[in-house]
Structure 1
Amino acid sequence: MLDLPPDLPRLRTLRTWHEQCLREIDRAIAAAEEQARAEQQAQERRAAATPPPWMVGLQDITGTPEELHQGGCTMWAHRRRKTVTRDQARELLAAGIRACEFCKPDAELGFL
């Protein structure tokens, strides 16, 4: 066991010192937990920012499908758009919707 001093003033001093150490440890734990939360939130934001696999550009006035893009394509960034599934993208190409010349979704979907 510990060798503790027998007198009350030194025991109280040790208690005060240990309380300070525990407060420092608690602050370090809180900072580490906050860091872990921040990293988790950043990871979730990065995952949410991942573009969907397929986007269809919509005509500005009527909202009808106009051009198909891969999700990471920047050519549709300024336009109205809608997320579509792989099957919907294939159906749109089969229906004659134009494929983007830059990201070439038709090649990715096997429509050449």
Structure 2
Amino acid sequence: MYDLPPDLPRLRTLETYLAMLLGDVRDRIGKIEQQQAASAPRQALPDKPEYVLSYLRERGQPVADSVHLGDCKQVSHHTRPLTREQALQAITGGGIRACEICRPDSTLGVLDS
């Protein structure tokens, strides 16, 4: 145990000093943590796929709805990435429509039929 002063005024002074010291220590910890976070290697976000297949839910089951460009804002939350070949197959032979907003069929060179 520490040899602390026996009187209240000196104990209060010591308490104030230690509180200030603790504040300084916490500030220094915060600065060091910020420096370490800034210099830490960052994981690159995965690239968005070029095309995605959007699904709707029918009776609780996923049903393919439409093909979109990877950055289309109209895409649903339920998607699957597609390669260019898969997107082309889905639109031309899979009976799946192309999004009317982002027009992946134009990008794929599919003519209107």
Which TM-score band (shorter chain)? 0.5 to 0.7
2:39 is aligned to: 36
SS at match of 1:64: strand
Return the offset for 1:52. 1.3
Return the offset for 1:53. 1.0
Residue 85 of structure 2 is aligned with which of 84, 87, 93?
A: 87
Residue ranges of structure 2 left out of the alignment (5+ in a row): 1-31
1:57 is aligned to: 54
Q: For residue 99 of structure 1, what is the amino acid of its counterpart?
A: A
2:72 is aligned with 1:69 = no
In 2, distance between residues paired with 1:110 and 1:92? 14
Query: Which structure has greater helix proportion?
Result: 1
In 2, distance between residues paired with 1:92 and 1:36? 45
Return the offset for 1:59. 2.5
SS at match of 1:63: strand
Residue ranges of structure 1 left out of the alignment (5+ in a row): 1-27
In 2, distance between residues paired with 1:35 and 1:104? 40
Return the offset for 1:34. 4.5
2:108 is aligned to: 109
SS at match of 1:59: strand
1:18 is aligned to: none
How many residues are matched? 77
1:99 is aligned to: 98
Return the offset for 1:111. 0.7
Question: TM-score, normalized by length of structure 2?
Answer: 0.57
Contact 1:55-1:70 within 8 A present in 2 as well: yes
RMSD (Å) for aligned C-alpha atoms: 2.4
In 2, distance between residues paired with 1:94 and 1:57? 16
Return the offset for 1:60. 1.0
The Cα offsets for residues 30-60 of structure 1, whole Å up to 9 and x where unpaired, read as: x4x65331xx31x61xx32x42111111121
